[in-house]
Amino acid sequence: MKKGLLLLADGFEQTEAIATHDILLRSHGIEVLPVSISSSYEVTSSMGLKIEVPARLMDIKDVLSYDFIVLPGGKVGVDNLGASALVRQTITKFHDAGKVIGAICAAPSILGEMGYLDGKHFTCFPGFQQGNGIYENTGSVIDGNLVTGHSMAYSIPFAENLVRVLVGESGVERLKGGAYGI
């Protein structure tokens, strides 16, 4: 079973985080652990929803024992993610190890600032393009181990693409019953 980390900072976009978490779990082949990037176990979304998470990034001894990370958007959340040295170190470790990195909405801008979008196809919320990547104005883009999403409205296609990259089409097929009632 694949397992990953959902990195949450105060100001995160709640639909992007919660829908992605839900879809990944519904694949029946992926575990996802929501983690706070701060010293608190409570994280507040951009819309004021307070959630308690089971773990903090600072307490995870071996982040590379996980298969992927997800960075949700939300302008304030992305600013907080990008300002965290620990988050940037984690992104670098995943990038250097060739592991899957998912980023949606404004969050791909962090990857662009770090040079990890250079030469890559990606999408993000308009105006947050950073780096020397190839921007596509579409719902979600896969380029190798990088999965990006355009905005909150594309949270489900973004999460489906993460499933596609992590466990293949069989994982996406398993979503049909629980997510779509098909």
Query: Which sequence positions are flagged as catalytic?
Result: 105
Backbone angles phi, psi at 130, to 5 degrees: -135, 155
What tokens does 119 get? 């030469």
The kind and range of the H/E element at 146 are strand 146-149
Residues 6+ apart with CB under 8 A from 35: 5, 6, 7, 8, 53, 54, 55, 56, 57, 60
Backbone angles phi, psi at 56, to 5 degrees: -120, 140
Residues 6+ apart with CB under 8 A from 177: none
